[in-house]
Copies of this chain bind each other. A is one copy, B any other.
Amino acid sequence: MNISFNTRDPVYLQVVRHFKLSIAKGILTAGEEIPSRRELASQLKINPNTVQRAYREMEEQKLIKTERNVPSKVTTDAHILQGVREELLHESISNFLDEVEPLQLPLDEIVSRIQLQIHRKGESASDD
């Protein structure tokens, strides 16, 4: 009997992920300015260096473009922006499959369960 505990993603990666979600959802669009390091840090009540770490990460992934003395901006490279959606989808599916695989269910049953839950979700949503 062995257990491995949940390990929380580093905060800076959570920040990166949040930006990726915003991009995938269309909340952030190409070329749009993002908050300054200090401002976001203040909003999120985290350390500016942690935000800086997140922004550096996004810079390296070419998600944002940063120049000295001006606010960083979302990339205008449509290819990269599209890649974000792909990446998020792939990651979600991957996590899902990792969780579901040990249950040893045939694919068609998994799919039909998904369809079922989407259907129910749609209903409860229309209840609101």
> What residues of chain A have their CB less than 8 Å away from a CB belonging to chain B?
1, 3, 5-9, 11, 14-15, 18, 21-22, 24-25, 34-35, 40, 43-44, 60, 85, 88-90, 92-97, 99-100, 102-103, 105, 107, 110-111, 113-115, 117-118, 121
Contacts and interface: CB of A to CB of B under 8 A. Distances in A.
Given A7-B8, A11-B5, A44-B3, A97 B111 contact: no
Contacts of A85: 103
A107 B115 contact: yes
Nearest to A114: B93
Q: Report how many copies the assembly holds.
A: 4
A97 B38 CA distance: 34
10 contacts: A1-B22, A3-B14, A5-B8, A25-B103, A85-B103, A89-B103, A89-B110, A93-B100, A96-B96, A97-B121
Contacts of A43: 1
Given A1-B34, A25-B102, 17 more contacts: A3-B14, A3-B44, A5-B11, A6-B8, A6-B14, A7-B8, A24-B102, A24-B103, A88-B99, A88-B103, A89-B110, A93-B113, A93-B114, A95-B99, A97-B118, A107-B115, A107-B118
